[in-house]
Amino acid sequence: MTGRLSSPPSLDRVGGKALHCPPGSWLGVIGGGQLGRMFCMAAQAMGYRVCVLDPAPDGPAGSVADRQIVAAYDDAQALDALAALCAAVTTEFENVPAQSLARLAARCIVRPAPSAVSIAQDRIAEKAFLRSCGVPVGAYATIAGAAESAEVARELFPAICKTARMGYDGKGQVAVTAAKDLPQAWRALGSVPCVVEQRIDLRRELSVVLARGHDGAVAVFAVHENEHRNGILAVSIAPARIPPETAERARGIAVQVAQGLQYTGVLCVELFERMDGTLLVNEIAPRPHNSGHATIDACIDSQFDQQVRSLAGLPLGDPTAMRPSVMCNLLGDVWFDRDGVSRIPPFDAVLAIPGARLHLYGKTQARPGRKMGHVTVLGASVDEALSRARLVADILGLEAPR
Ligand code: ATP
Ligand code: MG
């Protein structure tokens, strides 16, 4: 061994820039939340420097990044400064204005491609795309005007009316029991374009996170099983307690979506399992996903490592899980006791539980419903991880994982 580093692979080029960005170069991320923070940490661990673009100073990502450009997501000068500094830029959320990504893409590598992000940011485009690539989706109708809201077929109800754009954590959604209630529900959502989805009788919610390289290589994480409370992810269990055949079907669907998008980057496909065992795609996220956070502690390479690798044009890492895991989200509610008095949660007791790992996002203000962090609990089996996670839930006053 000489200790000499092997020379980097030959460089393809886009717009004069190398497709392979070596460690030491700058990577950019639009958005300053916790997903951006975990991306920064993974990139920095590999020797990259990271610049965040976000209007809020000192957010979760900005406070760990090497640099932050404090500006609106559609600030042309700021976008140009980001593109001038960084070899490649990604996003931590799907609601970045499409024009901003297009502006960046004319100046540097942008992964995932703006076209993929724009599909994921509009439920109407997303459903049409999912159908076109042949994956199963539930029955739905789209409404753009008052007349259409009065014409949706009765068979679709009970249903959920969702705004086409800008929804997250169950926001921008209204449950609608009967067709006659839809016009009012649509108005309550601001009379904006919506999809109306048949309410699915769920046996389970699943998610598949994968990474796809610019060369078409794909690395798929184990299927996660998710519990939502009040529309927000509460618990994610991996591997999901489903037959291997169901897991393979779920992973196959996710790969089909990624291929259909000619996707580069990390993608999450959220799935519903119906009572009869059939799977439906709920929605996709063009980025790492809350349900994939346990990959940081459980897998050889995490979803954020994969985001860095796919963005930088490096070979994808290994998504193998070394341990089963249960992830519990920590919402701001945990920072208040039963009487509503603010407190520091008893993290010392949590960390005394074997296999428990704490991740806090550096948010200074705790508010009910606000994602403040998560605890990942590892175990030798899913059952062991679950029983440890129940202890964590008990200490923190969370509803226990099922
Ligand atoms: P997130 O940001 O957490 O992914 P979101 O605001 O994008 O949420 P959805 O994923 O569409 O919203 O819905 C949130 C949750 O509401 C789902 O995970 C599921 O629990 C429930 N839900 C949504 N649509 C349906 C449906 N058609 N049938 C049954 N349950 C549904
Ligand atoms: Mg969702």
Residues 6+ apart with CB under 8 A from 199: 157, 158, 159, 160, 175
- What is the pLDDT, as a whole number, of residue 283? 96
pLDDT > 50? residue 236: yes
Q: Which fold has domain 12-110?
A: Rossmann fold (3.40.50)
Residues 4-55: pLDDT tens digits?
A: 444 333 344 444 445 589 999 999 999 999 999 999 999 999 999 999 999 9
- What is the pLDDT, as a whole number, of residue 342? 95
Q: Is 165 in the pocket of ligand 1 (CB under 6 A)?
A: no
Bridge partners of 51, per DSSP, are 28, 67
Residue 290 · residue 350 · CB < 8 Å: no
Which ligand 1 atom sits nearest the alpha carbon of residue 140?
27
Share of the chain above pLDDT 90, in %: 89
Extents of the domains making up the chain: 12-110, 139-198, 202-396
286 DSSP 8-state letter: S
In CATH, which of 3.30.230.70, 3.30.420.130, 3.30.1490.20, 3.20.20.70 is domain 139-198? 3.30.1490.20
- What is the pLDDT, as a whole number, of residue 171? 84
- What is the pLDDT, as a whole number, of residue 153? 86
Please state which of the ranges 136-150, 242-256, 331-345, 363-377 shows the lowest mean pLDDT. 136-150
Residues 94-120: pLDDT tens digits?
A: 999 989 999 999 999 999 999 999 999
- What is the pLDDT, as a whole number, of residue 21? 94
- What is the pLDDT, as a whole number, of residue 18? 52
Helix (H, G, I), strand (E, B) or coil at 388: helix
Q: Residue 134: left if φ>0, alpha if ψ -120 to 50, beta else—which one? A: left
Residues 132-159: pLDDT tens digits?
A: 999 999 999 999 887 887 888 899 999 9
- What is the pLDDT, as a whole number, of residue 231? 87
Which of 194, 282, 290, 293 is the best mutation target for the ligand 1 pocket, counting ligand atoms within 8 Å of the beta carbon and taking the most? 282
CA distances from 128 to 74, 106, 125, 251, 280 (A): 27, 27, 5, 20, 14
Q: How far apart are CA 197 and CA 268, in angstroms?
A: 20
Q: Is 332 in the pocket of ligand 1 (CB under 6 A)?
A: no
Ligand 1 centroid, distance to 270 Cα (angstroms) = 9
- Higher-pLDDT residue of 170, 371: 371
Residues 367-385: pLDDT tens digits?
A: 999 999 999 999 999 999 9
Residues 6+ apart with CB under 8 A from 268: 207, 208, 209, 284, 285, 287, 288, 289, 291, 292
Domain 202-396 is in which class? alpha beta
Global pTM?
Answer: 0.94
At 244, list the tokens: 């291997």
